[in-house]
């Protein structure tokens, strides 16, 4: 039967080995826990960056395309005006004949 007054005899080398093993296990556990926290924080940052990139890609409107469309519209209008002017000049030429 085990009681408060039970006596255990253990070699001092074995006792030191047990203490060192417990301290080493505790140090490894603390180190792993810290590393896991760092990895969790890194994952959260990466996910946030990915969300920002996804929003940017979805909302991206290239300014070059807008300028190109505006330039094309301007050229179409100029082309239409030139066609109209040519038609007017042809009409004047036919009238002069």
- Tell me the C-alpha distance between 33 and 5, whole Å: 38
- Give the Å distances, CA to CA, from 70 to 14, 60, 73, 76: 85, 18, 5, 10
Domain that holds residue 15: 10-60
Which of the two residues, 68 and 16, has the higher pLDDT score?
Answer: 16
The answer to whether residue 5 sits within a structural domain is no
Report the pLDDT value the prediction gives residue 59, as an integer from 0 to 100.
81
On whether both 52 and 28 belong to a single domain, the answer is yes
Average pLDDT on 43-72 reads 83
Query: H helices of the chain, where?
Result: 12-59, 63-96
With 90 as the cut, is the pLDDT of residue 55 above it? no
Which residue's entry shows tokens 């004047």?
Answer: 92
On whether both 49 and 80 belong to a single domain, the answer is no
On whether both 55 and 14 belong to a single domain, the answer is yes
DSSP 60: -
- Tell me the C-alpha distance between 24 and 31, whole Å: 10
pTM value is: 0.46
Mean pLDDT score of the chain, rounded to an integer?
90
């Amino acid at each position: 039967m085990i009681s408060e007054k039970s006596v255990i005899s253990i070699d001092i080398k074995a006792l030191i080995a047990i203490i060192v093993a417990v301290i080493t296990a505790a140090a490894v556990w603390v180190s792993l826990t810290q590393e896991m926290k760092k990895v969790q924080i890194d994952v959260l940052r990466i996910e946030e960056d990915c969300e920002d990139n996804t929003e940017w890609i979805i909302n991206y409107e290239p300014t070059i395309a807008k300028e190109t469309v505006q330039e094309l519209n301007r050229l179409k209008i100029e082309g239409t005006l030139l066609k109209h002017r040519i038609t007017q000049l042809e009409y004047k030429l036919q009238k002069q004949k």
